[in-house]
């Protein structure tokens, strides 16, 4: 008798729960780019066009044949360059066997972390979640996840929980640093406690977990560290000073950790992944509107989760950035400052939190005190 399939409760969405919207709302630059990537810009498809022309007995010196062959060679060269570039940057992928991996997700009770944890739970992986939110035993058992109530901003709590994880599941080999909070306050309305709390959760937690769990990975000579940052770490935004600064720090931390692991003799099989999503449809930024659904669509957490899981299981290092603009947002910094300012005005990035009605203000008595 085969293993019993785990039954999970599911509530399917009802069509009348959502207002009717035009079909073109789903047409985005990301979708067009993805389709082109699998068609016109794909080397294999480019050579198929050449073969089709030859099947029609098109001579090699015909203009259309010359254009098709030049295009096919160009797409092939770009593809080969990309493969070589990634090989130089990240080396060979490592072998990943989920039955031998121990996965730790911080901030995995809600949002992106929850999706990743639940996928691994359904696949009977050795998965645990570190979060300040408490999860009932029955729910944890149903999801196949071990939950540890832990403030990852507290180094001592992380060290204590790490010892429990080793005893319960074994040495951690995959760390997904996802924990994050946001306080939508201007720098004048924020307090020292607000800033400290944001940095403890968004930045110091990464130091605590990496410092604690990386030694286990080095002893095992394998591992993967996932750093979840944000495109706002590149851009900054009004009323999000603490959040954007805490996420910007993760870019430098990721680069430094990569460099240090590369210098360690046991670090060849330890991979690093940087995740820099744009606005996701989570509670964190509910109500915030992007300047354009076409150019800057709101990303579903499941899309980021799929990419993270795929890269982890392929044993690769790399960067995950979505939507498309987040892959090139760093180029904004090399543009003339006047153009940068015009882009910020057009995008409405510095007005988005205010327009969504999310700006938190100090009490009047506190301001006058």
Dihedral of the CA atoms 64, 66, 68, 73 (nearest 10)?
180
Tell whether the model's pLDDT for residue 365 goes beyond 60: no
Task: Give me the mean pLDDT over the 334-345 stretch.
Answer: 93
State the DSSP H helix or E strand holding residue 46, giving kind and residue range, or none if neither: helix 43-55
- Contact yes or no for 186/241 (Cβ under 8 A): yes
The pLDDT assigned to 368 comes to 36
The pLDDT assigned to 30 comes to 93
Cα(first)–Cα(last) distance of the chain, in Å? 72
The pLDDT assigned to 257 comes to 97
Among 163-177, 222-236, 350-364, where is mean pLDDT lowest?
350-364
Tell whether the model's pLDDT for residue 318 goes beyond 90: yes
- Contact yes or no for 72/50 (Cβ under 8 A): yes
pLDDT tens-digit series, residues 120-137: 999 999 999 999 999 999
Q: Give me the percent of the chain exceeding a pLDDT of 90.
A: 83
- Of residues 285 and 76, which shows the higher confidence score? 76
Task: Give me the mean pLDDT over the 63-67 stretch.
Answer: 96
Helix%, strand%, coil% for the chain, nearest 5: 55, 10, 35
Which pLDDT band holds residue 11 (cuts at 50, 70, 90)? Answer: low
Residue 90 CA to residue 241 CA, distance in Å, equals 32
Q: What would the DSSP string read from start to end of 180-230? A: -------TTT--HHHHHHHHIIIIIHHHHHHHHHHHHHHHHT-EEEEEE--
- Contact yes or no for 146/169 (Cβ under 8 A): yes
The pLDDT assigned to 7 comes to 61
């Amino acid at each position: 008798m085969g293993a019993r399939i785990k039954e999970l409760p599911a509530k399917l969405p009802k069509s009348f729960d959502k207002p009717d919207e035009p079909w073109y709302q789903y047409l985005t630059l990301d979708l067009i780019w993805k389709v082109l990537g699998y068609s016109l810009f794909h080397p294999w498809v480019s050579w198929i066009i050449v073969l089709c022309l030859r099947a029609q007995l098109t001579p090699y010196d015909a203009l259309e044949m010359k254009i098709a062959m030049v295009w096919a060679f160009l797409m092939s060269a770009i593809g080969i360059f990309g493969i070589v570039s990634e090989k130089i940057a990240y080396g060979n992928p490592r072998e990943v066997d989920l039955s031998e991996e121990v996965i730790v997700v911080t901030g995995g009770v809600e949002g992106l972390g929850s999706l990743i944890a639940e996928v691994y739970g359904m696949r009977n992986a050795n998965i645990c979640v570190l979060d300040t939110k408490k999860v009932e035993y029955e729910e944890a058992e149903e999801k196949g996840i071990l939950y540890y109530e832990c403030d990852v901003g507290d180094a001592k709590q992380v060290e204590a929980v790490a010892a429990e994880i080793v005893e319960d599941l074994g040495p951690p080999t995959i760390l997904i640093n996802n924990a994050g909070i946001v306080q939508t306050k201007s720098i004048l309305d924020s307090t020292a406690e607000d800033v400290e709390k944001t940095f403890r959760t968004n930045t110091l937690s990464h130091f605590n977990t990496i410092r604690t769990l990386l030694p286990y990975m080095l002893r095992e000579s394998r591992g993967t560290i996932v750093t979840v940052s944000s495109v706002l770490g590149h851009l900054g935004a009004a009323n999000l000073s603490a959040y954007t600064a805490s996420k910007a720090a993760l870019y430098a931390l990721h680069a430094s950790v990569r460099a240090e692991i590369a210098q360690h003799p046991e670090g060849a099989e330890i991979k690093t992944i940087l995740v820099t999503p744009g606005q996701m449809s989570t509670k964190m930024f509910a109500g915030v509107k992007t300047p354009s659904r076409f150019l800057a669509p709101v990303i579903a957490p499941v899309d980021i989760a799929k990419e993270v899981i795929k890269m982890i299981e392929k044993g690769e290092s790399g960067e995950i950035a979505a939507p498309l603009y987040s892959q090139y947002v760093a180029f904004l910094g090399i543009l003339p400052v006047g153009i940068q300012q015009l882009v910020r005005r057009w995008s409405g990035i510095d007005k988005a939190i205010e327009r969504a009605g999310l700006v938190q203000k100090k009490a009047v008595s506190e301001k006058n005190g």
